[in-house]
Amino acid sequence: MWKFPAYVLLLIAAVAFGSNYSGSLEILVKAIALVVGAFSFIGVFGLMHESAHGHLARRGKVNRLIGEALSIVVGTSYTGYRIAHLTHHARFRTERDPQEIIYPRKPKPVTMALLAVAAVIGAPIFLLVRAPFLAFRQKGGVAALRGPLLAVAFYWGWSLLLPAAQWQFLLWTILAGWVLGSMNDIVYHQGLDDDDTLAASTSFDCDVFGQAFLSGANRHAEHHLYPAVPGPRLVAAAEALRGDLQAAGVPYERGFAVAFVRRLIGNPLFLPKSWQRKVGAND
């Protein structure tokens, strides 16, 4: 849990520096500060993801309280996110998977449009809309929406306390976090096999970045194979399992940015491989 105060301090420093800097290469420096702050925001989400799997505390109640607190920063319903994400693992690539766009099977133009949107703003749509909706539908009442309601109060308070320049930079930082988070998420599964196999999950070798800001979720195939293993331990699991996972068809990538650009160029709508083969056959 030392990561959470580190993320907060890094986010504060990025916002304070980026909002006040006016020296040479101003646009570039502000952009770097924006990305650093966005990574910190993504890091908070990564901790909430670990909490959803029960990895942040030995006692379930303590783990849940931590997750609820993190959900306020993220702006989502912890209850809804946990329901959706654990169902994603249990019902991966089926009609009951609430995180996968290609299921339930919709008309191809609709699915193509949804995948294109998800590549850029899929994360905020899921966190701000889908997760709270699932929480309200399954649990009902205000308690299920506690995270979003407290998040509104939390950020409204900061809007009153912060100078206008810093508040605006904070909003841009959160927006950048959502966009970068969406780009990360899209290359975990999309553009790969469209069935429930390990070949439908990408594993990324960027362990320094992955441990610093994703709490190990970059080892995504390993995470789906062993969701009960905390993220920091997945690096050792990846070293032991790599040969077997590659034989099972798991794609390995060095980093998210290169993977995103490669798939964007080769498959602009991140369609499943089976769809790509059908399109090529028709051509």
User: pLDDT digit string (tens) for 47-80?
Assistant: 999 999 999 999 999 999 999 999 999 999 999 9
Q: What is the mean pLDDT of the chain?
A: 91
pLDDT tens per residue across span 213-222: 999 999 999 9
Residue 50's pLDDT is what?
97
Decide if 3 contacts 215 (C-beta within 8 A): yes
Whether 282 shows a pLDDT value over 90: the answer reads no
Residue 35 has phi, psi (to 5 degrees) of -65, -40
Contacts by residues 68-74 (CB-CB < 8 Å, ≥ 24 positions apart): 68/146, 68/147, 70/4, 70/44, 70/45, 71/147, 71/151, 72/147, 72/150, 72/151, 72/154, 73/41, 73/44, 73/151, 73/154, 74/41, 74/44, 74/45, 74/48, 74/127, 74/147, 74/151
The amino acid that residue 225 corresponds to is L
In eight-state DSSP terms, residue 219 is B
Nearest to 99 by CA among 74, 122, 68: 122
Crossing angle of helices 256-266 and 164-189, rounded to 10°: 60
Rounded CA gap, 100 and 91, in Å?
10
pLDDT tens per residue across span 180-205: 999 999 999 999 988 888 999 999 99
Percentage of the chain with pLDDT > 70? 96
pTM over 0.75: yes
